[in-house]
Amino acid sequence: MSISFETRRYVVFSILSLLGLLYATILLRGGLRQSSSSGTPILAELGSTIRRENATLVILARNSNLKGVISSMRNLESRFNHRYQYPWVFLNDEEFTNEFKGLVLLETNAPVHFGLIPKEQWVQPAWIDEGKAEESRHRLKEQNIIYGDSSSYRNMCRFNSGYFFHHPLLQQFKFYWRVEPDVKYFCDMSYDPFQYMIQSNQTYGFTITLLETPETVTTLWDSVKEFMTKYPQYIANDNALEFISSDGGKTYNMCHFWSNFEIADMDFWRSDAYQTFFEFLDAKGGFYYERWGDAPVHSIAAALFLPKHRLHFFQDIGYQHASYQHCPSSDESLGNSCSCHRWNTIGKFLYLCNP
């Protein structure tokens, strides 16, 4: 059976119309922004009068994390970013798929950047003794340490400790808010945490403090003490040493800020003090010979190199990652509406480190 020219033209026109409608929808939902691994995002906010700081939301994720990424984005957009439209930066050690990019773009009206992590900043360095590193992974696995045998987890910890803030997509920004897949924010935020950090002269903000697993950092504090002896000029007056050591610096008490939530000034990580510190630690090989995490590395640096008044506890931000959460009390919530229960906060059951 033959199909007339008019019928074929109608079918083609209908298909093109549907494709055009889909494209227009994506543009509108995406805020007429550019999405790429390079270049500057374009933001169109007609009639917007909300002031934004030089800041961004950062997610380190893989394509397989898409469901968790969408959940976290939807949650934070609802609680905060739908009003401020801070840009999102996604980083991955592999290229993001078109599916990942397309679905992420539909979750926000803010600019979105997708970036590839340079191989040399992610993979285990060639100078690491692989036999020694493999022995460490085997030992920690035998001890049932979480991620004990994971090379990719160690790559991530090293990248977050020393490299993420150097990524080309982040050079235009000063402050960042670290977001993880599958996290929850329980409270509506009636103010801009970035603006608060700047106006209050804060450098590092956190919500949860925990104890590190001792088996993963057996020589970390010895390296830190060696660094403090060699570079005393970097130790701040009125620092927060008592947060990370209960005996005046003789030992590490395992306290750290849980770094899956951070609102911080990247210029601190880019400073001479921190860069020297990271390079000193990196040369020890502890990211691979043990399992040094970015949380204790960030926490020790912030506690030693910053005056304690520049560390801020965001007690009003309800937050959950894995089985740990912080739920503000009615006084702590600053009048914001929260969907969590105070009795279920981590502080009710576990010893908390208090800076």
Q: Report the candidate in 56, 46, 176, 67 with the shortest Cα–Cα distance to residue 113.
A: 56
Q: Report the candidate in 123, 203, 219 with the shortest Cα–Cα distance to residue 163.
A: 123
C-alpha to C-alpha distance for 86 and 68, rounded to whole angstroms: 20
- Which pair of tokens denotes residue 341? 């229960």
- Which pair of tokens denotes residue 221? 């504090």
C-alpha to C-alpha distance for 45 and 25, rounded to whole angstroms: 16
Given 53, 107, 262, 332, the catalytic residue: 262
**SS3 of 237, please?**
coil
- Which pair of tokens denotes residue 299? 């926490």
Read off the amino acid at residue 332: E
Q: What is the dihedral of CA 163, 164, 166, 168, to 10 degrees?
A: 140
CA dihedral sign, ordered 194, 198, 200, 206: positive
C-alpha to C-alpha distance for 274 and 234, rounded to whole angstroms: 9
Between β-strands 204-206 and 311-313, what pairing exists: parallel, antiparallel or unpaired? parallel
Contact 303, 355 (CB under 8 A): yes
Instruction: Judge whether 130 counts as a catalytic residue.
Output: no
Contact 238, 309 (CB under 8 A): yes
Neighbours of 293 (CB within 10 A): 26
Angular region, 185: left φ>0, alpha ψ -120 to 50, beta rest: beta
C-alpha to C-alpha distance for 126 and 129, rounded to whole angstroms: 8
Spell out where 219-296 has E strands: 255-257, 262-265
Angular region, 285: left φ>0, alpha ψ -120 to 50, beta rest: left
Order of strands across the sheet with 319-321?
183-185, 319-321, 324-326
Q: Give me the active site residues, please.
A: 262
